[in-house]
Amino acid sequence: KALSAFQCRCALPVMNGKNRHLAFREWDLVEDLKDGPYGTQEPKSDLLYVMPDIMLVPLLAFDERGMRLGYGGGYYDRTLQAYRDKGHPFTAIGVAYEGQKRAKLPTAKYDQPLDIIVTEQGIYRP
């Protein structure tokens, strides 16, 4: 609601099964949500798809390089890569607890770094 006060549009991820990336559908904070895959919630309506300027990215763990351990589907990594390949300017922010920080996570070539990680104890800018 605070973002709406600043005239920011909010959007929620919608899973695209064909190419296993995420699209983002505008959400008005009032509309009911429907059950999506993997226990997610998605907007019910056919509101506008948007390309976010700020993306809040879930994670299980992170390191100081901005790398994250996700939930294993690769949806966010593919989405971040696709947006970067298109040249779309956005900021990927990981939301975590300090206890999720690790010295160095193992990574693969398809893993995408975050721009910022926010915890209850501070902000990391790799």
Q: What's the domain range around 105?
A: 53-126
Same domain, 126 and 69: yes
Same domain, 66 and 103: yes
Region for 77 from its dihedrals, namely left if φ exceeds 0, alpha if ψ lies in -120 to 50, beta otherwise: alpha
Q: What pTM does this model have?
A: 0.89
| CATH number (domain holding residue 112) | 3.40.50.10420
Contacts of 6 (CB under 8 A, 6+ apart): none
Same domain, 23 and 42: yes
- Which amino acid would we find at residue 125? R
Provide the number of structural domains found in the chain.
2
pLDDT at position 6:
83
pLDDT at position 9:
86
Q: What is the pLDDT along the chain (126 residues), one digit of tens a residue?
A: 677 778 888 899 998 777 778 999 998 888 889 998 888 899 887 777 899 999 999 999 999 999 999 998 899 999 999 999 999 999 999 999 999 999 999 999 999 999 999 999 999 999
Question: Under DSSP, is residue 65 helix (H, G, I), strand (E, B) or coil?
Answer: coil
Beta pairing, strands 91-95 & 116-119:
parallel
